[in-house]
Each structure stands twice: as C-alpha cells, then as structure tokens.
A and B are shown apart, each in its own frame.
Chain A
C-alpha cells in the first residue's frame, strides 16, 4: 500500500484520474496544474508537497515536490494532515472543507466555478488510492 504523498501514491492517483471517464468529461476544457500541500500538525512534522499537471480531462504527470519555491502552479490546494486523512476517508465534503476553511484553494476562481464538478471528482479519485498514512 503506497504511503500518502509518496511518488508511488501520486502515480496511483494519476492512474485513478486517467481512468475516470466522468472526470474526463467534466474537465474536458480544464487547463491548469496543481500544487497539493499537506500542512504539518500533531501527526506530521514537516509539510509534504505534490505536483499534478491536469489538462483537458487527463493528468499528464505528477511527482513529489521537495522545495515548493521551485514550482509555480496555476492552483494550490492545501490543508492539515489530519484533515487530508478525513478527506480521503470521506469524512469531510471537499466543498464544505473549503467553505469552513479546513482547506484553502488558490488560483483562478472563475475557472474553478465552471469546473466545480471536475474538482469534486478529482478529490473522489484520491479516495480510490489505497493509502498508508
């Protein structure tokens, strides 16, 4: 079982995205890469980062990022480790998580508002990856 935010986990996530037909349809016009950030809390000492390149309904590539200052992405999604665990367990609705500020999303919101379904499906894909925390 891949460890959360390891290179293996990110590759499994990319696979999950690329095999999701509903996501492909919902995100067919989407262009924009993401930096996912796991913020430390009681259960995590150092932050973790992952880069995912999303383009026209597919994930073109994804990799672990050691130094976030070296990547410039169109969007950034971040939250605490304990909240990520709840998100992957389906205990937090991703939109409610954003509204209640458990997660933060930065980037072009006008675009996000057109692709909200795709964003939700993208989060659903994380649940498909068996994860060791």
Chain B
C-alpha cells in the first residue's frame, strides 16, 4: 500500500482570485524581501479578513524559525496559514501549521509516522519561484544550524490544503533565481522517476515536468515576459513537487542537501549541477528507468548510450542557463575556495550518505562512492566508476 496526495490546486493566470472566496484570519509566512518587493501585497489585496505577516523566514530555514512563527500564530490565532515565497517560506509555513496544531511536538520530532492532531487550520501555499514544488509535496526540509545539516522529512499533515500556482507571482523572478529554481524542479522530476518508490501515479508527472523544463526553462530564464514559458515552468515545478510527494527525491538531493547545508549555495544549483554525475553513476542501479525517461524526452538510443545522451542533454540545459556543469565553477561564483571544498569533504560525504533521501534509492552508495561523486562533480570529470 502507498499513497498519492495532492492539495487542491488553483493554477494559471488570475488563480490568486481564489483567495477572495475565503473568510477568516490569515497568517502569512514569508520573507522580508518579498514584503519589500510588493510580492506579498499581490496576495493580501485579495484577503477578506484580518491578516498578520510573519516575515522572518531566512534561506535554509532553521527549526528555530518555525518555533518563532508558531509564537506569532499562537498570539494571532489564524484560520488560515498562507506560505508565500520559495521553498524556504513554504516549508516554514508547513512547519508552523503542524506545530501550531500540536504545540507539544518538537519540530525535530516530525517523522513520517509521528501521530499528530488536525485542528482545522487550513494551509495555503503560494510559490513565488518555480522550483521547490513544496506547494505540492508532503515534504519539509529544515536546517539544524549547529550541525550544518539539512533534515528532510515527510508527513501527511505537511501537505497543504490549497496551492495557488499563479504565474503572476513569478513574473519578476531574476534570471539567476529562475535558473536555479528550475534546476531544482528538474532534479525532483528526474530523482522521483528513478526512485525505489516510483509509481504509476507519479511517473507521468515526472515525464511531463521534464518535458516542460527542457523545452521552456531556457526561454523562461531569458525573458520573463515570455508568458507561455514562464507559466509552463511554473506548472512544471508543481508537477515535480507532486511527484516527489509520492516517489521522493533521490541522489541529486542527497548531494544537494549536503552541499547546501555546508556551503549555503542555492539549493537548485547544488542539485542541478550534481544531476549529470548522479544520473551517470546511479544508472548502474536504475538503467531501465533512465532509459525509459530518456525515451520520453526524445532520446532514441538504448543502454549506456541513452544515459550518455541524457547526461549531455542536462549539461546542454545547464550551459543554456549560463550555469557551470561542475561544482568548482559554481563555488567560484560564491567565493568558495578549492581548499575549503577539500577541507570539508568528509562532512559532505557523511551528511550526504546519511541524508534521508538515500532511503528511497534503489541502492545506497557506499561512502567511498559518495566521495568520488563529490570529487568528480567538483572537478567536472566524466563518471567512470
């Protein structure tokens, strides 16, 4: 037995108008930049009722931020909690709802099988980037700061009641942000398709998300006025989010969570740049799945040749987005020296090999293979092991 779950999803232009049908008290969970940029105002103008804004969400949000949000919720007593933002704000909103309804639960104790109460507070998630897919998934990722480690979990009560996927919210996304969030979505779609938990309900979503991202992401990054491309990529991110809610993320995220936790580069870059390496390496365990996915993406070759073409296709996408296809390149952009990478390699290996995303891999790589994956991805070497 397994589950496929989804929020009710309003999508397309004007889908924000759905908010006008709701009445009550609204707690908005977001970050201060989105408030200053007027993005949150695009939401509040539709609200019929009193609202409060909790805007302290940070990148790589911590368990402590969730607790701060819960204190605000306990004072304001919302009927609705609305997450507005990228994956960070949406994940914090998820955490605030579940802890607000279960005040005795330590956020770190949220496991997939933790018993929780539902007290009727509705969760609405409105993505302002096209990547995390958090609006469609039952997953939450929070950072344990003192361990420089991201901890991912899933729980049915983490799933939103409503997701509003309105391209209006991403029209002004900077090119770079559009690139790394889109790569995050691609990582979800590919990881979920080759997961040990892959299933008939999620596979189609993965294929469609991949098609949309390969076709439209370069256009959407180059020109935010390309409304068709922007909307297609926005939809693709939610499709991929729905897929990981059932099939789960995989190896690119094992590496990505580790890199992000240690070096704090954008999650989408960490996962997306890892993808060519994890695809080639992991195909030894999931050749049939990759071959099938490659076929749906228009690759006629079979076996190793299909994998090589898929890797080439991912690298071409990275190039079209002006994103380096190795970690050395992206680290340079963020001022991280080679020495620092090698100094922290042991930490990277340990965190990735014990990341919860390894649980849904067909086979868990050894620590030695994780080490080689990091080094090859850093150096930009072709996987030959």
Residues of A within 8 A of B (CB): 22, 25-26, 93, 95-96, 98-101, 104-105, 108-110, 112-118, 120-121
Residues of B within 8 A of A (CB): 1-3, 106, 108-114, 151, 153-154, 196-197, 353-356, 358-360, 364, 366-367
Chain A residues closer than 8 Å to B114, beta-carbon distance: 109
Say which residue of B111, B196, B355 sits within 8 Å of A112 (CB atoms): B111
Chain A residues closer than 8 Å to B151, beta-carbon distance: 113-114
Chain A residues closer than 8 Å to B108, beta-carbon distance: 109-110, 113
Chain B residues closer than 8 Å to A105, beta-carbon distance: 111, 113
A22 CA to B358 CA in the complex, in Å? 13
Chain B residues closer than 8 Å to A117, beta-carbon distance: 353-356, 358-359, 364
A110 CA to B197 CA in the complex, in Å? 23
Chain A minimum-CB-distance residue to B1: A100
Chain B residues closer than 8 Å to A22, beta-carbon distance: 364, 366-367
- A26/B112 in contact, CB under 8 A: no
A95 CA to B196 CA in the complex, in Å? 12
Chain A minimum-CB-distance residue to B107: A110
> 14 A-B contacts, Cβ less than 8 Å apart?
A22-B367, A25-B353, A25-B367, A93-B196, A96-B1, A96-B2, A96-B197, A105-B113, A109-B108, A110-B109, A113-B110, A117-B364, A118-B354, A120-B364
A37 CA to B153 CA in the complex, in Å? 25
- A99/B112 in contact, CB under 8 A: yes
Chain B minimum-CB-distance residue to A120: B359
A108 CA to B108 CA in the complex, in Å? 10
A96 CA to B154 CA in the complex, in Å? 11
Chain A minimum-CB-distance residue to B149: A114
Which of A25, A99, A112, A118 has the most B CB atoms < 10 Å from its CB? Answer: A99
